[in-house]
Amino acid sequence: MATPYRPLEEPSGPKASIASDVGALVLRIVVALCTIHHGLQKAQNPEGFATGMVAKWFPFLPSPLFWTYLATTVELVGPALLILGVFTRSAAFVLFATMCFANAFHFELTGFEKFPTGVPPGGAYAFEPSLLCGGCFFYLMCAGPGLFALVPRF
């Protein structure tokens, strides 16, 4: 029983653990499925992405085509690893780093759009998807894949 002096205790035991592990599995699958198409999009026109995005918005990076292929690989292989639960923390780390670049692009292009209280014209902040995915990847990088993974510890 919760009182002002004794906080409600967190559930513990097997049921709480399974719920957390199912949550981690669902998070891994959903964020992975929402990321794959970005890699596919880059793979369809790597030269266009290299010149129109990498060279234009990140001129300090040498060889824009290299970084395009690297981002494409990360956004195709990383989600597959997340879904399977293999090298989850490593995959989440490189995906998080990729989302940092995506957020930098959006912040440079549109600014913060009066975040968090502003209402953007389209109804969503331009950086919203990459910020949400980045947060999910950061969580998975810290927490790991949960029990329902091919390699649950990493």
Residue 139 placed within a domain: yes
Residue 46 placed within a domain: yes
Residue 6 placed within a domain: no
| Predicted pLDDT at 6 | 56
* Entry pTM: 0.84
Return the higher-pLDDT residue of 64 and 13: 64
Tokens of 152: 């649950």
Residue 119 placed within a domain: yes
Question: Exposed (0-12), middle (13-18) or buried (19+): which is 47, by Cβ within 10 Å?
Answer: exposed
Q: pLDDT digit string (tens) for 23-77?
A: 999 999 999 999 999 999 999 999 999 999 999 999 999 999 999 999 999 999 9
Query: How many domains is the chain built from?
Result: 1
Tokens of 12: 């513990």
Encoded amino acid at 125, one letter: Y
DSSP per residue, 110-136:
HTTTTTTT---TTSS-TTHHHHHHHHH
d(CA 70, CA 1): 53
Q: pLDDT digit string (tens) for 115-152?
A: 988 888 888 888 999 999 999 999 999 999 999 999 87
| Predicted pLDDT at 151 | 87
